[in-house]
Amino acid sequence: MPTDLELAALAAANLAVRRDPAAADAVETCRTALADQVPDGQRIALLVGWGYLALDEPTEAWECFRAAVSYETEPHLTDRAALLAGLLAARELEAPALAGAWYRASTELITVLDQINFTDDLTTRLTDDLIWPDHPELRADVLPHLVESLDARSRSLAALTLYAVHHANGDSDAAVRAAWQVVRLGHPTYLAAAWLGIAETLIKQGDTATAAKACQEARTAEGRFSARLLLGLAEGSEPDVQTQAEMLLGTLQGDYSKLAEYKLSEQHQDAIFELGLRAKDRRDLPEATRWFRQYIEAGYAAHPLAAAHLGELAYWVGDKQTALHWYQYTLDHTDLPVLVEEAEQRMAELRAS
C-alpha cells in the first residue's frame, strides 16, 4: 500500500505536470517531508524530482533523482532515476556525476541506452512513458523538454559515457557505436577521446587496420584527455590522448620505443594482451610473441601470465627451448599456485623428453 507521503508526492507531481499554481508549494512540502522519512523513499524521491523537472527546476530535480538512485530498493526505479540524473548531469557537463549515475545501470537500462543515438532527435526515443508507464497522468512531454535542452557538448558527453558503460560491461560493438556518435557530433572537447576509444576497442576485436586509422585521427583531433580522465574514471595520471594514440599506433606498426617512456592505460594494456591471446588461439607463436613480449617487457601487472601463455603455446607447437624459457620466467616472477604448478609440470615433462 502506498504511504500517505507517496500519495501526496504523486498528487504534487500531477499538479506540476499540469502547471497548477499550487504545484510549487506541494512539491516543496513533499521534499521537506521526505528529508525526515528516509526509509522506503525511492519512489517518493523520483516523484518529487519529476515534479521539479516539470516545473523547470533542474537543480532540485537532479538532487532528488540522485537521492532516488542511492536508495537502490527497486531496480526499475533505480534505472529510471539513473537515466534522469545522468541526463541532467550531462546538461550541466557534470561528467563524474553522469558516469556515477549510468554506471549503476542494470541490463534493462543499458538496453534502453543502447537504442539511443545522441546525434538524432531524442524526443522520439526518450518519452515520459519510459519513466511513468504506470502513471499516464504524469506524462506531459517533461522528458522530451529536458532532452531538447541538451546541446552538442552535452550530447557528446552523454555518448562518451555510454561508450564507457558499454566498455565496462564488455560489449565492444555497442561501445564502438557510442564512440562513433561522439565523432559525428564532433565536439572538440571529446573528439580525440572518442577516436582513441574506437582504436582501443577495435584492437580487442582484432581489426588492427581500422584501429590504426583511428589512432591517426586521435593524434590530430582536438581534445587532450581520454574518456577515462574526462569521466573521472582514471586512477592517477596518464599521457594525453595524442601521446597514447602515437604509442598505440607505434605498437601496431612494431615500434615499441615509446613504451619505456610512459605507462600505458589499463585499457591499452588489455588491448595488447588480447592481441596476444588471439595469436595464441591461432597457434601463431611469432605473432603471440610479438604482443606478449612487449606486454612483458613493459612490466604490466599480468606479465607472468603473459609468459605462461607463451610457454604453453611453445609447448603446443613443439618449441622446447622457447617453452622452457617462458615457463622459467613465469616461475621467477610469480608464486601464484595455478601458474607455478603448470610451469613446473610442463618443464619437468620437457626436460625428461
pLDDT tens-digit readout, 146-186: 999 999 999 999 999 999 999 888 888 999 999 999 999 99
In-domain check, residue 162: no
Q: What is the pLDDT of residue 257?
A: 58
% residues pLDDT > 90 (the chain): 61
Both 101 and 70 in one domain: the answer is yes
Considering the domain boundaries, does residue 14 fall inside one?
yes
Does the residue 156 lie in any domain?
no
Q: 179 and 49, same structural domain?
A: no
Does residue 249 share a domain with residue 269? no
Same domain, 222 and 302: no
Q: Is the dihedral of CA 26, 31, 36, 41 positive or negative?
A: positive
One domain for residues 236 and 276: no
pLDDT 10s digits, 42-84: 999 999 999 999 999 999 999 999 999 988 788 999 999 999 9
Q: Is the pLDDT of residue 303 over 70?
A: yes
pTM of the predicted model, to two decimals?
A: 0.78
Between 16-25, 29-38, 217-226, 284-293, the lowest mean confidence (pLDDT) is in: 29-38
Residue 223 near residue 183, CB atoms below 8 Å: no
Let me know whether 3 and 58 are in one domain: yes
Average pLDDT, the chain: 89
Residue 217 sits in the same domain as residue 284: no
Q: Is there a domain that residue 161 lies in?
A: no
pLDDT of residue 194: 97
Q: What angle do CA 235, 237, 238 make, to 5 degrees?
A: 110
Position 124 confidence tier, pLDDT thresholds 50, 70, 90: confident
Query: Count of CB atoms within 10 A of residue 322's CB?
Result: 17
Specify whether 136 is located in the same domain as 16.
Answer: yes
Distance CA 179, CA 156 (A): 9
Is the predicted pLDDT of residue 262 greater than 60, yes or no? no
pLDDT of 261 strictly over 60: no
pLDDT higher than 90, residue 266: no
Tell me the residue length of the chain: 353
Q: 336 with 200, same domain?
A: no
What cell numbers appear for 1 in the block?
Answer: 500500500
**In this structure, are 221 and 186 located in the same domain?**
yes
Asked if the structure places residue 164 within a domain, the reply is no
Q: What is the phi-psi region of residue 157: left when phi exceeds 0, alpha when psi lies from -120 to 50, beta otherwise?
A: alpha
Total number of domains in the chain: 3
* Boundaries of domain holding 287: 263-352
